[in-house]
Structure 1
Amino acid sequence: MAAFQTTSWRLISGALGVVCLLLMATLGILLKRSFTRQSIQPTSSPGSTVEPQEGSDCCSCQEKWIGYRCNCYFFSKGDNTWVESRDFCASQNSSLLQLESKDELDFLKFRGRLYWIGLSYNETRGAWVWEDGSALSQDLLSFFQTLDSKKCIVYTSDKEILDEPCGEKNPSICKQQLT
């Protein structure tokens, strides 16, 4: 009779040991999957030398867009007129770049190209305005007196704003605000 009780307890303890191992393995797999999903980040734009910087982890951008401070940016490879560029950005649920801060200017480090941005001259208001109608901050860019109001605006790799005939073909920067 004592041998029967010892065998039963061995079977029960063996079964509990197997269940415990299975639970620990399942927990390990779930934790690994959880950490893997959190570390995946959206990245790169085609043909751009821009790298994601601090603060880009609060948004999820579509493929080929770059996240920075809860905004997504796309640097086009193809050259289009200003109007074609504006329409392309709109088709991507975004708008031509609207600069909001000096930090954003520092983030936009790229080389060798002129890029259309969403700034134009509003004849009625007699001022340079962004696509959404907001006024340009003179603190951000203060050298607009010499620009031709009949032309469109490009942003250069030297952080300069220049005027170009709107029919010229240049790449563009689209911006999608996620906040």
Structure 2
Amino acid sequence: MARVLHKEQSEIHVDYVNAPNQLARGSPSKNHTGKDRRKLYRLVGVSFGLLCILQIALNISLRLTLYIEGLSPSITDHYFKQGWVYFRPSFYYISSIKKSWQDSRDDCLRRGADLVIINSREEQDFTRKFHRISWIGLTLRETKGEWKWVDGTPLTKSYWGSGEPNDYEGKTEDCVEIKFHDEENSWNDIPCGDQNFWICEKTVAL
């Protein structure tokens, strides 16, 4: 009986002694998780800090560019707050809703601007970056048979998509949109009453 009792006591003792060891084995896992969390928080903090620094650098760079080009901060801030984007030598407004070509132009005129006139390859590449099918200021409405910009100048350099302009399916397609954004030749003619986003352009005097 004494042996049995001693054995039971021993087993009880062993179980008692081993219990903290099992807890101890579990604690490194918790500590490890805590360290992982601290590393993650540190990484997020560092990333956020780098983004802030990058944003500040971009703002300084933009302001320096505008200063060199003679644009005052008060003018640029005014346009930026209204959603305009600057690309030398003009400001551009990209709509968030769709309208017909004429209604789109009327909106630009109310803003003291007009639908965008594309004068260079650089400007053509710039307008494609917005990845929105958008009206531009090119039309046949005023002079049938001759494409002209909204300021009355004739089209000299074009960026028509393949097979355009074509009056597709016999439709009267007298207005132009930027459609094929992945291609340099991105223009497409469509009916002026269709609904599209649009791009306004405003040149600010230095």
So what's the TM-score if we normalise by structure 1? Answer: 0.61
**Residues 53-96 of structure 1: CA distance to partner in whole angstroms, max 9, x if unpaired?**
x9666344412101111200000001111110000000000000
Give the drift of 1:107.
2.0
Greater per-residue helix proportion: 2
Distance 1:175 1:167, change over 3 A: same
SS at structure 1 position matched to 2:134: strand
Distance 1:145 1:171, change over 3 A: closer
Matching of residues 65-84 of structure 1 within 5 Å: 65-84=84-103
Hey, what does 2:12 align to over in structure 1? none
Computed over aligned residues only, the root mean square deviation of the Cα atoms, in angstroms, reads: 2.9
Give the drift of 1:41.
5.1
Hey, what does 1:152 align to over in structure 2? 175
Any conservation in 2 of the 1:94–1:176 contact (CA below 8 Å)? yes
- Runs of 4+ aligned structure 1 residues displaced above 3 Å come to 38-42, 54-57, 122-125, 142-147
**Residues 7-34 of structure 1: CA distance to partner in whole angstroms, max 9, x if unpaired?**
xxxxxxxxxxxxxxxxxxxxxxxxxxxx
Any conservation in 2 of the 1:96–1:117 contact (CA below 8 Å)? yes
Unaligned runs of 5+ in 1: 1-37, 43-53
Matching of residues 4-19 of structure 1 within 5 Å: none
Matched positions, count = 129
Distance 1:116 1:55, change over 3 A: farther
* Counterpart-to-counterpart distance in 1, 2:66 and 2:92: 11
Q: Sequence identity of aligned pairs in percent?
A: 30
Unaligned runs of 5+ in 2: 1-58
Distance 1:125 1:167, change over 3 A: closer
So what's the TM-score if we normalise by structure 2? Answer: 0.54
